[in-house]
């Protein structure tokens, strides 16, 4: 769907109004800059395919849990302190399926939220770090070859805004006073449409507006529920359409577009791409954004 420039400016104005006054967390730091705390007994990773470390196979494109996700990177750092690692993230999880069950990837639990709450109740006296990314699958199906389905995107943002407080309040109620939470914003894989021409560039810009509306939900709800914010969106320079960088010989693109091509599989040729998931380098960037918040 081609979106006229007038509609884009109007949407940008709505996004600016919605996000006015929201605090933005600091950018990512190296692992050596953080971790100035007592060792955690457990690290509990929750969320969707990004939390699970999902990637396409570099030859066939078949998706699998790679063991190189951002949670795995965080766990590798914490392991030196003796922290035990538990990952309940489920590829394909929506906010609704996290609450009610029904994640399409086979898991030993019916509901990820129930499983997480059970774990936290069993470890109320322990020092636990919890990371969370959830909501991407509420809006993922709203963008495609024909552009962005605006109503679908708005519906997905609304659904996330309704479900996220339920998730966070359930986790907080189950957790002990030594438990800490960090939740993430999201990068924008649909910036890759920039490479398809003028219509794709318009759609890339519009997707940026919707990303800000979407991430605005996390910027509000996480702090309201005592959850720190890992600013993954800023780590990927998601709003930087200004700075131009070479992507390959003869091709210059905005920095945010370049980041998506460098750190996800969106610009990879078929059958591997386009794929919204981070690659090893992208997951490392995400891990550093979490570490900066921790």
Residues 6+ apart with CB under 8 A from 2: 147, 199, 202, 203
Q: Which pLDDT belongs to residue 115?
A: 98
Measured distance CA(166)–CA(9) in Å, rounded? 33
Fold of 34-189+216-237+280-293: Rossmann fold (3.40.50)
Burial of 11 (0-12, 13-18, 19+ CB in 10 A): buried
Is 130 strand, coil or helix?
strand
Q: Which pLDDT belongs to residue 144?
A: 72
Q: Which pLDDT belongs to residue 143?
A: 81
Q: Which pLDDT belongs to residue 38?
A: 75
What is the tens place of the pLDDT at every residue in 201-246?
999 999 999 999 999 999 999 999 999 999 999 999 999 999 999 9
Q: Which pLDDT belongs to residue 29?
A: 35
Sheet holding 128-133, edge to edge: 84-87, 42-47, 128-133, 180-184, 228-230
List C-alpha distances in Å: 197 to 149, 202, 281: 19, 9, 27
Measured distance CA(30)–CA(38) in Å, rounded? 18
Ranges under pLDDT 70 in the chain: 1-37, 145
Is 128 strand, coil or helix?
strand
Q: Which pLDDT belongs to residue 23?
A: 34
What is the tens place of the pLDDT at every residue in 240-274?
999 999 999 999 999 999 999 999 999 999 999 99
Measured distance CA(51)–CA(68) in Å, rounded? 10
Q: Which pLDDT belongs to residue 86?
A: 98
Of 141, 126, 143, 49, the C-alpha closest to 87 is 49
Q: Which pLDDT belongs to residue 146?
A: 73
Q: Which pLDDT belongs to residue 92?
A: 97
Give the start-end residues of each E strand in the chain: 42-47, 54-56, 63-65, 84-87, 128-133, 143-144, 147-148, 180-184, 228-230, 244-248, 251-254, 264-265, 275-278
Q: Which pLDDT belongs to residue 15?
A: 40
Q: Is the pTM of this model over 0.85?
A: yes
């Amino acid at each position: 769907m081609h979106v006229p420039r007038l509609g884009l400016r109007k949407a940008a104005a709505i996004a600016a109004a919605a996000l006015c006054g929201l605090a933005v967390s600091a950018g990512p730091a190296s692992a050596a800059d953080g971790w100035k705390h007592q060792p955690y007994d457990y690290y509990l990773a929750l969320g969707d395919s990004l939390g699970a470390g999902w990637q396409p196979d570099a030859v066939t494109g078949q998706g699998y849990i790679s063991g190189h996700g951002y949670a795995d990177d965080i766990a590798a750092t914490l392991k030196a302190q003796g922290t035990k690692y538990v990952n309940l993230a489920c590829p394909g999880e929506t906010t609704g399926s996290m609450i009610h069950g029904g994640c399409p990837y086979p898991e030993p639990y019916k509901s990820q939220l129930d499983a997480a709450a059970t774990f936290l109740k069993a470890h109320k006296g322990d020092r636990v770090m919890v990371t969370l990314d959830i909501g991407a699958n509420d809006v993922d199906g709203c963008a495609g070859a024909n552009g962005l389905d605006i109503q679908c995107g708005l519906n997905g943002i609304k659904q996330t805004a309704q479900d996220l407080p339920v998730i966070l309040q359930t986790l907080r109620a189950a957790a002990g006073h030594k438990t800490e939470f960090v939740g993430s914003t999201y990068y924008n894989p649909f910036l890759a449409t920039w490479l398809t021409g003028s219509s794709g560039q318009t759609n890339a810009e519009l997707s940026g507006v919707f990303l800000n509306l979407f991430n605005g939900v996390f910027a509000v709800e996480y702090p309201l529920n005592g959850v720190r914010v890992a600013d993954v969106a800023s780590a990927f320079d998601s709003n930087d359409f200004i700075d131009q960088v070479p992507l390959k010989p003869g091709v210059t693109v905005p920095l945010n577009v370049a980041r998506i091509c460098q750190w996800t599989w969106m610009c990879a040729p078929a059958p591997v791409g386009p794929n919204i998931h981070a690659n090893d380098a992208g997951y490392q960037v995400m891990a550093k954004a979490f570490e900066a918040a921790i």
